[in-house]
Amino acid sequence: MTAINLAVQPARRAAYLISDCAFTTPDGRLDRIAGKIISFERFPCAIGMTGNLDLAALGRALLALDARNLRTLLLGLPQALSRALGDTLAMHTGMSEGWGMLKVAAWDARRKRPAGYLIATDAQAAEAVLGPEWGAYQVAECSSAHGTHEHISDLLGRPCQLEDAATFDPHVHGYALIAAQRQRGSLNITPGISDYPFRIGGEAELTEVTRRGVRVWGVGTFPDKIGERINPQLAPA
């Protein structure tokens, strides 16, 4: 699992993805530290993923769509997600099942406002985040989505909402959110992954999408070492 948080903030005229940068091996060891967000040049949009999808497989599937705008991207996302999952399973010997969820931050040029979308390969995952009316491979518009199972107010210890610019500033509070999710660990719901829960870390990255395009900032680092298991007790206070 990973931490990919989606926040659409109309007051700031922006949509955000707040993510960690840790890639781990099945037994929980840190394999590499790198960005997890795919962005688009033709129109302002960025996509983050959770689950056990392969990032390169997802990138190839999105490139094959040749989306010219946000509308064509959203129409093609179910096909791209299905292809990415199939390619992931084919690449990894012994992996017979998998799942993934995409979180999309975009600028809707037609409606002239920021927007966020979710789509999952697994009906239970979609229902847990979006409600019982959503199933697998359905694109849903939403204002916020969390990278772990706890509410942001519980994670940060104060009343706040991801979509509320008055209580949550991604530039100021993004690192604290990832740090809190790092401490809590992850749900063990990804096939092929061991029970070791701590997989969030490396660095914290903020991706901002506005009508002007996509910008990315590093908002903090963690003292994790390549080849070692993530230890949340090493997180700075």
Q: How confident is the model at residue 178 (pLDDT cuts 50, 70, 90)?
A: very high
Phi-psi region of 146 (alpha: psi -120 to 50; beta: other; left: phi over 0): beta
**pLDDT of 188 over the 70 cut:** no
- Measured distance CA(17)–CA(3) in Å, rounded: 10
- Measured distance CA(126)–CA(118) in Å, rounded: 8
Cα distance between the two ends of the chain: 23
**Token pair of 98, please?**
């998998």
Q: Give the model's pLDDT for residue 215.
A: 97
For the segment 3-18, what is each residue's pLDDT rounded down to a tens digit? 899 999 999 999 999 9
Of the candidates 120, 167, 123, 175, the one whose C-alpha atom is nearest the C-alpha of residue 145 is 120
| Mean pLDDT score, 61-68 | 94
**pLDDT of 109 over the 90 cut:** yes
Q: Give the model's pLDDT for residue 187.
A: 57
Q: Which domains does the chain have, with CATH numbers?
A: 4-224 (3.60.20.10)
Q: Give the model's pLDDT for residue 94.
A: 63
